[in-house]
Structure 1
Amino acid sequence: MDTYFHFPPDLFNILVDTIPRLNKTKKDLLLFFQNVGVPSTYLQPYYLLLNTNRSQFKKFDVTREVLATLNEQTEKMLGVRRKLLQRIVEFDSFETCYPNDKDRAKANVSDIQKIVKLKDTVTKYENYLSREQSEKIQEKQKVVDKLCQSRKHFVDLEQRFAQLFSIQNPQERGKKLEQVLNDIFMYFKIGIKEDFVIYDDETGKNCEQIDGVVEINHYLTLVEMKWEKEPLGVDKVGRFMSRLLVRKNVDGIIVSYASFTETAILTAKEALSISVLALVDLKDIYDVLNQKKDLVDFFSELIKNVKLYKNPKPRIDISGLKNIDFNYYD
C-alpha cells in the first residue's frame, strides 16, 4: 500500500461502491473521510450541503468527488489515501451496515483486499527487481571505478619510472630507482619487502643491503638494482651471487641500466649449477611497462628460461607476453 500514488481505475470504482455502504448515515460518511485525514476545507462544502439541502447529498456522488480530489493531489494526499485504504481492508464491523448493504459491503471489502494484496505483491516484486538492478549497476560501477583506479595507478608508476631517465644525480637516481621498482613490484602483487639492511649482531655495522624481495613462481627472489654508466662487471655480479649462496632455495635477479659485461654473464652462467640468477636490462622492464605487458609473466618466463636453457640472460619476446589485467592489479 505504501507505494500507491493514486487509486487506479479498478480500485477507485470499487471504493466508490464500498465506502458509502460501510458508513450508514451521510454524517458517518463525512466523519469517515475526516478521520482518515481528508482536510476540512475539502469536506466543508459537503457539510454545508448536508445542513442546507440534505436531499441533494448523495453518498455515492460525494464519495466519488472526494476520492477524485484525493487522486488529483497525488503525493500531497498520499498519506490520506494510504490510511483510507488501510481502514477499509481492516474493516470487519459489517453489523453496522444497512441490511441490504451488508453482503455487498463484505464482498467488496474482500475484493479490495485481493486487489491490494495483488498490487502489493506486484509492487514488492517490482521493487525487488529495481533493487536487484540497482545493486548490479552499483557492482558494475565498482568494477569500472576499480579499473580506472588501477589504470591511473599504473600510469603514475609508468610516469615515475620514465622520469628517472632525466635525473642527473646518480645517488638520487639510484634511490628513486629502488623506490619506483619496489612500488611496481607491489602493484603487480609480487613485492614482499622493500630494501632492507642486515646488521652484524656484535658490531652493529651494516654487513648487507638488499634492494628488494619479490615472489616469482612461489620462490623468494632477491632483487638488486643498479644504475651505472658502465656495464656491470664480475665483481658486482659475484658479490650478489655470494648473497644467494648463503640462502637455500632463493633465486636472484640483478637489474642493470647499462647491461652486463660478457665475463659477468659467463660468471653468472657458471653459478647456475648452484643457484638461479637472472640478469635483466632495465630497458626490458621499461619495454614491458611501455607495451602494457604483465610484469609477472615477464619474470616467470625469465626464470623459466634461465633454468631450462642454463642462460642467465635469455632473450624474452616481450610482445608475446600477456597484457596487463587492470581488473586484477591495483
Structure 2
Amino acid sequence: NCDSSVLHSLVFIHMMYNCRVVVLSACTLAHVVAMRVATRSDLPPCHPILDFSSVVKYWKLNGTEQVSFLQGRGCDARSNPSPETADYTCAENAFACAANEPIANPNSYMCCNIKYSSRSGPRITNMLGESLDVWRAGLSTLVQIPKAREVAPTLLVQINVQPYAPYWYTMGCEDGRIAEVLVSGTSLGESNVTVRSGALHANESFAVRVGDGLWQELSWRTAVVDQAVTFVSSPSMMITGVITATDPQHWGPDASAVINVGGLSITVQQHTLGSADEGKPMLDVGVNGAYSKSQGVGGLLGPDGTILVQGTAPVPCMTIDASVSA
C-alpha cells in the first residue's frame, strides 16, 4: 500500500525581487591594522577585493587605467620611496595591494579601504513552507527518496552552490547561487542528469547532460523563444526544455528544463542578471509530485530541512569599501 502525499517545494535566489540585508560580521574576522608588507613582490593583487562585475571591467583595462579604476572606488595610490628600508604600509582597516602598474613605477602600490561582510546564498522553501538559507558552497541534497540513507535512493536531487567569480579568485564576498542541478537515483537507471547554468549567449550556455554524454545546449544558437525541445524521451524519464519569459515583468526570456522521473517533476528555471560578459546566470529549482509516506523525504526540501541547516552560518569575508577613501 502506497500512502502518497504531495511534495511541493521551491528553491529560489533571494535577489529575484528584493535584496536581503546581510548582517556584517566584522567580529568574526581579524581587523586589518596598519597592514605592512616588506617588498612589492609580496603584495597581493588588488582584484580579489572587487565584486564580479567590477572584476570584469578591471581586466579590460591597462595598468594605468586599473589604477584610475581603483581610485574611483576609494583606493589611494601610494609610492614607497625606500623599498629596501621601508614597508608598504596602509592605514588601519586598509588593504595594501598591487595594481598592474607600468614598469616605470615599480615601487607604487594601492591602499584600499575594506569592509567586512558575509557571503549570501540561495534561499529554500521546503515542503512545510519553512524558509532556509544555504550558506555552504558545493553540493547540497535537496531531495532524497527514500529518506533512509542505508537504502539506495530512487531519486536524489542535489544543487551545486557556487559564486559567479570563484572564491579562489576573490576574497569570497561574491554571493553563492545555484550553478548546477544534479539528478540521480535508481529511477533514472545507470545515468544521472546534470543541468548547468549559463547565459544564453555564452560559449558555455544553459545545457543538459545525461550521464557522461555530450552537453545539449539550450541557447540562442540552438533554440528560439517559446519553441520547446526534447532532450530525453524514454519510458522512465522525459526531459524537455524551452526558452521563454515566465515572468516578463521582472525577467526577459531565459532557459528552463523540466525533468519528469519517478512520479516527480523537477523544474529548473534560469534567471540572468545583467548582459554580455557581465551576465550572472542563476538557477531556481522546483520539485512537485507524489511520494510514499512510508519511505519519507530526506534532504533540505524535506521536513527535516531546518535541522540539516542548524549550526551553519554565513562565511565571513571582506571586500572593498568604495564609500571611504583609504
Tell me, yes or no, whether TM beats 0.5. no
Q: Which has the higher helix share?
A: 1
Q: The TM-score by the shorter chain falls in which range? A: under 0.3
- Select the structure of larger CA radius of gyration: 1
Higher relative contact order (CA 8 A, sep 6+): 2
Q: Which has the higher strand share?
A: 2
